[in-house]
Amino acid sequence: MNQMPFEPPVDHYEEQLESIDEQICKLIKQRKELSDNNPGFPTKELMSRWATKYNLYEDFVKSVFSHLLDEEMYKPVVEPKGFQKNVPVLKSFEKDSVFYSVTFVRQFENASVVHFTIDQEDFDGEMDIRKKRPSLFYLSVEGEGAVEYDCRNNFGGGSVGHQSFTFTVSPALPDDLSNIKLIFKEYIIPLKKTSGFEFVIQMDN
């Protein structure tokens, strides 16, 4: 999902705040390092106490920590450029009557776009409660060599029984996909808490 370009809401900046603002950035970096970039979320009691102690609105404090929860969502987006070809995959995984499939990969010069679908028949008129809860799948890629792939969920949509999503992978996947593994891991939203469910799609050439 593309981020809207940021524009400062005002032209004014109080320059005597520069050292304080730099210290805020330094503390954010320190917070990331101490938590191994997995800080969790302060309790309501802690945020209420801090809001009272420092004369801040409690909802403002909550908003600050919400933004600190996941820096990755602000990572610059790689826009696929230079379309090359579509690579059919047609690989799938099934569990509890839910069919997960990677249909094809769209290859670009600087990135690849993985097309992922989820299908389920509503036989009894009610979806399994596990599938009703709000969740997202995150993708990671394993391959040969030292290449590290960045994977971004572009989100998607669908209807009852069918959903489709795309993931942008950069750099582009190799033309020979036989040694590539696509690892899909489910997270409960909005707190990005893993559900414990994951599966692997082994690609073929």
- What does the pLDDT average to over 165-181? 92
Measured over the CA atoms of residue 78, residue 84, residue 85 and residue 90, the dihedral's sign is negative
89 or 131: which leads in pLDDT: 89
Structural domains in the chain, CATH included, are 16-74 (no CATH), 83-202 (2.60.40.1640)
pTM of the model: 0.73
- Confidence tier at 132 by pLDDT (50, 70, 90): low
Q: Tokens for 51, please give them.
A: 């809001």
Residue 28's pLDDT is 95
Long-range contacts of 33-41 (CB under 8 A, 24+ apart): 37/71, 39/68, 39/69, 41/65, 41/69, 41/191
Q: What is the pLDDT of residues 3-26, one digit of tens each?
A: 666 788 888 999 999 999 999 999
Task: Specify the pLDDT at position 39.
Answer: 87
pLDDT at 100 over 80: yes
Confidence band for 88, pLDDT divided at 50, 70 and 90: very high
